[in-house]
Structure 1
């Protein structure tokens, strides 16, 4: 059982990296795509694009902070157990 834990020591780091990367990529990319599309449709070039880019960035920051806080809390709880 202990050997199995030692073999997978890297998994939490990869999981955290994946979560943070997802929070960086998806909201910003979606905001940029929809912003460009809506600007083209309404003829408001670059207004909606910039506003949605800002919201996407803020949403990404919020998500990353949530993920990191959760991870830090888990680490603190793990250290209390030891």
Structure 2
């Protein structure tokens, strides 16, 4: 559940904030819809960077757990690495 909330926040919050900032810029400079589109585009890039960061962090945790399991299998049963793949 925590991962879902973090990833959803990386999508929702930047877009919501960008929408308000973009509308404000469009009103201030009379540039509709370019202010909104530009700021939402930047927010999209920011969201993607955040999503990749969070996903790589979770993948690192997952990979670390799997590596420790492989070490346990090799040391407990004294298997060769090629025996694990069978």
TM-score of the two chains, using structure 1 as the length reference: 0.80
**Matched residue, 1:32:** 19
Match of 2:55 in 1: 68
- Provide the rounded CA distance (Å) in 2 between the counterparts of 1:19 and 1:63: 10
Q: Distance in 1 between matches of 2:55 and 2:8?
A: 12
Larger Rg: 2
- Report which structure shows greater RCO (CA 8 Å, sep ≥6): 1
**TM-score in terms of structure 2 length:** 0.77
Q: Where has structure 1 moved over 3 Å in runs of 4 or more? A: none
For the aligned residue pairs, the C-alpha RMSD in angstroms reads: 0.7
Structure 2: segments with no counterpart, 5+ residues: 70-86
Q: Does 1:51 align with 2:44?
A: no
- Unpaired runs of 5+ residues, structure 1, are 1-13
State the partner residue of 1:80.
Answer: 67
Number of residue pairs matched by the alignment:
69
Q: Distance in 2 between matches of 1:52 and 1:34?
A: 7
